[in-house]
Chains A and B, each alone.
Chain A
Amino acid sequence: MNLYGPAPMRRREFLQWLGTAAGAAALAGRARAQTVSPNDKINVAHIGVGGMGSGHLGWFAAMPDVNIAAICDVDSTRLDAAVATAKTLQPNPDVRGYRDFRHVLDRDDIDVVTCATPDHWHTLITTMAFEAGKDVYSEKPLCRTVAESHAMVEARQRYGRVFQLGTQIHAEDNYHRAVELVRSGILGKIHTVRLWKTGGSPGLGFPADEAPPPELDWEMWQGPTVRRPYTPVRCHFTFRYFWDYSGGNWADFWCHIADIAFWALDLGQPKRIHARGATPTDGIADTPATIDVDYEFDGLNLHWSTDIPDVPGADDRGIGCQFEGSEGSMVVDYGSRAIFLGGERLDDVPEVPQSIPRSPGHQRNFLDCVRSRGLTESNLDYAHNMTLPMLLGCISFRLQRPLEWDAAAQRFVGDATANRMLSTPYHQPWVLPQSTIFAGRES
């Protein structure tokens, strides 16, 4: 049994796509504009309709000015279910299912792509969607490597597309208010930020390899990442706990909780990164079961932990961000705050004026920007800046040593192995369209 998938058949499928690709676009007589006119509905395609993708489908279908036009998944069971759901949410006889996202990108009538695939697909789908003139709403974490992050940023810049990272907590009032409070200066100068999320990667046991189920295109699911024999825990949902596809629980939740720190303080890039911790011992998962990371930013220290820190207000919050300033401190989680000023515990400081316009909702904000060509609240440059320290932290964890980061060169100082981990060649036939900053450097 070939557990790596029937390569010859996949090759044939790839060639079939090559035969029809772009050709379809060329033949379509009516060339749809790459901007949406005010009276048109926004045609949305959902790529990847597992857990988060089903969420996307529900969110976008609920928007009055959206038409779900296409759904794509490499698992035909999920695909069929999502197409059926889409038809109940909006009785549109035109919603079509695809197993290969390239056929979706070939459709000129699609305005927006949402991407809720595993992380190792985010970069290619996003950059190829930009090339095809589409705006993208993509799930967090943004991507797997620094090179990928740069490739996305540069492609968006080149094609002038709209991008939103799926950090929906960003849109909530609590985060807006917390940013106003930090920026008001009531806490004084912030010198320390602590981020935490309890719970690391589970081990997932030691399941035997299997043949991929017939409904799943395992070759396409793996796409640009390394080939492994199939086992269900490597695939849907628990892919999160393997470096091959993602960065583990901490990488996932970093995007939500680091968001508030980067938004409030506009942190640049860290100078030093030191991660410690352990991987699970009870299974094949290899991302952190526990992780602590110390980051040194310019004038500020930031700590990540899988343990709740012993600071006022952390209480039993399983996730949180603490801002510690010269005058006071504040703990923020998704929905609440605890402010400590002059020995008092407060929920709010009413004297601080509301200065940041509230979001109409994360998806709505994105769709409004698709129409206005405005800047989204979790735009790509912001998402890149917020994600980069997490990507560097993964490398420090895997090498079990402190690293020094040269932001100007986008390289580690004096660590050849760490630098090799900043990018990873894609599995054939996929090729990462490199950014200038990575393509131009010495190998």
Chain B
Amino acid sequence: MPLFLVLIGSLMAAPPEPDFELLLNGRDLEGWTAGGDETGWIVEEDGVLLTVGTVDGGWLSTDREYADFVLRLEYMLSEVGNSGVLIRGLAPGSADIEVQLLAPWTPYRDDLHCTGSLYGHVAVDPRPDETTGIWHSLEITAIGKSLSVVVDGVEICRANTDEVPTLAGSALSGHIALQSSHSGPEEWVRFRNIRIRDLDAEPGHLAYQLRSDDPAIRRHAQEFSARLGAAMVPDLLRLHAEGTPESISTAADALTYIVAGSGRDGSDATALSAALARELAGTWPTPTRAFVLEALALVGSSACVPGIAACLDEPVLAHPAASALSRIGGPTAIEALSAAVTGPDLEAALAAVSGLSTMGSGSGLHALASALGAASPVLRASAVTALGSVGTEATAPVIVAALRDGNPAVRAAAHSAVLRLATRLWESDRSTAHLLLERAVGAADSRVARVSALVAAIRLGADEASPALTLGRARDVEAVEEAERIAQTP
């Protein structure tokens, strides 16, 4: 045959299929492993795979496992050739499901055992062309529990494995293997253009499977979705945005697995972080954007800070945005939270204060200190609580000043904050710590507050001559005595 005819022939046999990849490279058996009765697998010069069989049979299996796929190939059988394609084998060369490839030799095999049948499990209808010695095309589609076999362009077998008693519970993923011809030593089978569309590499397909009613299918799709990682984000958000309890829960589970797979050191998280941040600017419903922010709290990088900060003044998003910023940390996150603390939106300011309070010492001190002058007592109380956690000796004066706030709840929060700051400064700045304790005793609203301050002082190690206890005795000797009793509590 002239060369150009060969070329045209192979082009006609395999038109361009961008979603498919060749499983057999046409040169060698890279990516495949042979086993069983190894009669030998030969890659011929034109890239055709030939195996001449024995009675016992052997197999050639993909090293990779496939779950949902469309497999296409062409086959040609010798006069009494007997072969098949095994799918979803848990081990190479073994599988519950074989798509039979068989010459119509005698004794005549029935529809349950002929070419295109799921051998012994599901019969063909209609019967395919079984002519030997010519090329036939075969397409096997496996999606979850549904299987379909197409020979020469005609679907001849279809099944849902749950509805076939002998296939119920069969594996949803595994190796694909070709059987050698096993009807006689002279018989053979040829394969060419073996290519596969790996549906589990396609976000749209996985998102479809995540919507399945079948938990096993959902779980499976979740695993593959975790492998795809960042590429799944838009589809998962679409799923979440459907807004049903099922869709929200499924999207959340899937995203959790992606976050979990994004790497220990954060390096693999970069793509995920960028994909999530991109979607924040989209037109997703508010709960879906909150969902994105919750994921960014775990994997977001400082590159995401501006996008997250833009969410702070949206009512439902203020908390998840502040929460994400506080966990991402760094100067830009602190700056964004600080701006919200002193901004016009009370809800954002409160969320930002809470965020800053869980960051490192010294975070957002200027903004938190300004918030102590805010009109809202809720904001003042929150800010002084935060300053008790992240404040330094530099903010001691403003925290102390809050002990005399006009609102009793702010004063109570300040009292707690002063004692916490004193605890933190006790080792590094003893004189400021003493001053704080003394002020807490002096400005106490009630006996309870005064005793609490004295207990804190004694338990830190303040002695009788310390400013706090000296002042305490001058004001209320009984309070000091009670504090000494309480302070003995182990």
Contacts and interface: CB of A to CB of B under 8 A. Distances in A.
Are A and B physically bound partners? yes
Interface in A117-166: 131-133, 147, 154, 157-162
A7 interface: yes
Most buried by A among B218, B423, B447: B447
Interface stretch (A44-52, A77-85, A280-288, A311-319): A280-288
A279 B249 CA distance: 11
A329 B174 CA distance: 42
Given A208-B245, A373-B488, A25 B445 contact: yes
Contacts of A424: 323, 358
Interface residues of A, number: 79
Say what secondary structure dominates the interface of chain B.
helix
A398 interface: yes
Given A26-B446, A416-B266, A425 B358 contact: yes
Interface string B405-437: 001111110011101100110000000000000
A39 interface: no
B357 A428 contact: no
A108 B488 CA distance: 21
Contacts of B347: 7, 428
A424 B379 CA distance: 19
Contact of A283 (B249, B359, B382): B249
B95 interface: no
Interface in A284-314: 284, 286
Q: Which bracket fits the contact residues of B?
A: 35 or more
A23 B377 CA distance: 14
Given A281-B219, A434-B358, A443 B249 contact: no
Nearest to B217: A281
Contacts of A415: 264-265
A373 B488 CA distance: 7
B358 to A, nearest CB: 5
Nearest to B388: A433
Nearest to B287: A229
B323 A425 contact: yes
A182 to B, nearest CB: 24
A431 B382 contact: yes
Given A147-B358, A154-B423, A398 B256 contact: yes
Contacts of A432: 354, 357-358, 389
A59 interface: no
A160 B486 contact: yes
B319 A427 contact: yes
A208 B246 CA distance: 9
Contacts of A227: 316, 319
B361 interface: yes
Given A420-B298, A428-B318, A206 B445 contact: no
A133 B448 contact: yes
B451 A133 contact: yes
A111 to B, nearest CB: 12
A88 interface: no
A207 B245 contact: yes
A160 B487 contact: yes
Contact of A133 (B411, B420, B452): B452
A154 B411 CA distance: 21
A3 to B, nearest CB: 9
Interface stretch (A28-36, A247-255, A354-362, A385-393): A28-36
Interface stretch (A12-20, A60-68, A264-272, A339-347): A12-20
A42 to B, nearest CB: 15
A190 to B, nearest CB: 27
A14 B350 CA distance: 13
B60 interface: no
Contacts of B359: 443
A436 interface: yes
A417 B299 contact: yes
A57 B390 CA distance: 39
B466 to A, nearest CB: 16
B482 A18 contact: no
A18 B377 contact: yes
Contact of A428 (B216, B351, B390, B410): B351
B381 A25 contact: no
A299 B252 CA distance: 38
A283 B245 CA distance: 8
Contacts of B269: 416-417
Given A22-B409, A22-B446, A157-B459, A429 B323 contact: no
A400 B260 contact: yes
Nearest to B444: A26
Given A428-B319, A439-B361, A34 B451 contact: yes
A433 B390 CA distance: 10
A422 B479 CA distance: 38
Contacts of A416: 264-266, 269
Nearest to B351: A428
Contacts of B355: 425
A interface SS class: loop
A332 B312 CA distance: 52
Nearest to B447: A31
Contacts of A353: none
A431 B244 contact: no
A186 interface: no
A443 B485 contact: no
Contact of A431 (B249, B320, B357, B456): B357
B329 A443 contact: yes
A421 B326 CA distance: 12
A46 B382 CA distance: 26
A158 B457 CA distance: 8
A124 B462 CA distance: 27
Contacts of A161: 486, 489
A286 B264 contact: no
B297 interface: yes
A431 B378 contact: no
Nearest to B222: A281
Given A425-B323, A431-B382, A34 B482 contact: yes
A430 interface: yes
A426 interface: yes
Given A443-B359, A443-B363, A425 B446 contact: no
A373 B448 contact: no
Contacts of B38: none
Nearest to A440: B361
B253 A279 contact: yes
Nearest to A379: B490
B385 interface: yes
A433 B382 CA distance: 10
Given A206-B249, A226-B320, A417-B259, A440 B360 contact: yes
Given A25-B446, A158-B419, A160-B486, A429 B322 contact: no
Contacts of B265: 414-416
Contacts of B358: 147, 423-425, 432, 434, 438, 443
A375 interface: yes
A235 interface: no
Given A428-B351, A443-B363, A131 B416 contact: yes
Contacts of B423: 154, 158, 436
A4 interface: yes
B257 interface: yes
The 10 closest A-B pairs by CB, nearest first: A428-B350, A281-B215, A31-B447, A443-B329, A22-B408, A434-B389, A443-B359, A206-B245, A21-B409, A439-B389
18 contacts: A14-B378, A22-B409, A26-B445, A35-B485, A160-B455, A160-B488, A209-B245, A226-B323, A401-B260, A423-B358, A425-B319, A427-B319, A428-B354, A431-B353, A433-B389, A434-B357, A436-B424, A441-B360
Given A427-B319, A429-B378, 5 more contacts: A22-B412, A25-B446, A34-B482, A415-B265, A440-B361
Interface of A: 4, 7, 11, 14-15, 17-19, 21-23, 25-26, 28, 31, 33-35, 108, 131-133, 147, 154, 157-162, 206-209, 226-227, 229, 231, 278-279, 281-284, 286, 373-375, 379, 398-401, 414-418, 420-421, 423-434, 436, 438-443
